[in-house]
Amino acid sequence: MAREELARFLRDRREGLCPHELGLPTSTPRRTPGLRREEVAELAHMSVDYYTRLEQARGPRPSPRILDALAQALRLVPAERSHLFRLAGSSLPPGTHAVQRVRPQVAGMLRRLPETGAIVTDAAYGVVAWNPLAQALLGDDLGRGTTNLARRRFLGQGRSYESSSAERFGHIVVARLRRAADRYPHDARLAGLLSELRSGSEEFRQIWETRPVHAPGHRTKVLDHPTAGRLRLNCDVLLVPEDDQEVVLMTADPGSPSARTLRGLAARLDRVAVDAAELGSCEQEPVPHRRRR
């Protein structure tokens, strides 16, 4: 337990909070910025003396329950909460469920990537965001927002094109689902998915028993697309650690035939989007009133 660093971290976060944002009175003059120690103690349902000793690096090692209460009282974001547990020398308790929402900044990034197919998957391999080029590459059902790549891979649900990395991807999927099962043991949606996969796929059950381990990174696959033909794609993964999500970027080597195909697909999608926007604006124009003679 890093007592001095823990004490400093608690003081910094306490002093960075605004009382009025937490519904606390601000009429009484305050000698220091942020909350008072007694206010944090009250919000965390602990004694003022106990909290004071923590801030003075004199306290005992706090339990996970105390740390969770402090994280809520100090309005810590997930990364800060994890840091708090590390400073206290305590294991981070499992989360309640896999995050399905997508941060606006991440969704915006997908729209600004030229000639790149991009999707965001949650910890259960549900596709929670995508851009038009990814939909063109992976199938129209992606746009319905119900696609789960684990179901697609092992149960054949949704459109799936032949890929050279199908076998390897199966191990990647199982490795990630095993991590998710450890992190979210009380997530009913995840438990239901795992039950479906176990009962519906012998291959899934066999891979699960091998306990595969995989670190997200780079891989290359050859995709047999029904209209675009054979594409050699690079798949690179960026992590959104606070939400336990992955951004998968699909690109092609510069100057390659696959890159030219992606450029053509992207240009076609841009033209469709422009035509749709123009049609929408025409439909919204008021019909001119004809004066009777």
Total tally of structural domains belonging to the chain? 2
Please report whether residue 94 resides in a domain: no
Write down the pLDDT at residue 2: 86
Is the per-residue pLDDT at 147 higher than 50?
Answer: yes
Name the residue range of residue 45's domain.
3-87
Is the per-residue pLDDT at 159 higher than 60?
Answer: yes
Model confidence at 66, in pLDDT bands (50, 70, 90)? Answer: very high
Residue of 103 and 232 predicted with greater confidence: 232
Q: Assess whether 156 and 255 both reside in one domain.
A: yes
Q: Assess whether 150 and 56 both reside in one domain.
A: no
Residue of 281 and 107 predicted with greater confidence: 107
DSSP 96: S
Residue of 287 and 175 predicted with greater confidence: 175
Q: Assess whether 74 and 49 both reside in one domain.
A: yes
Residue 219 forms beta bridges with which residues? 235
What six digits make up the tokens of 115?
């000639």
Write down the pLDDT at residue 272: 75
For the stretch 80-116, pLDDT in tens is 888 898 899 887 766 667 777 888 888 888 888 889 9
Domain of residue 10, CATH code: 1.10.260.40
Round to whole Å and give the CA distance between 248 and 287: 46
How many beta carbons lie within 10 A of that of residue 122, not counting itself?
24
Q: Give the residue among 162, 113, 151 at the shortest CA–CA distance from 134.
A: 113
Q: Assess whether 124 and 78 both reside in one domain.
A: no
C-alpha distances (whole Å) from 236 to each of 138, 160, 263, 264, 292 are 16, 19, 18, 21, 65
Question: Which pTM value belongs to this model?
Answer: 0.68
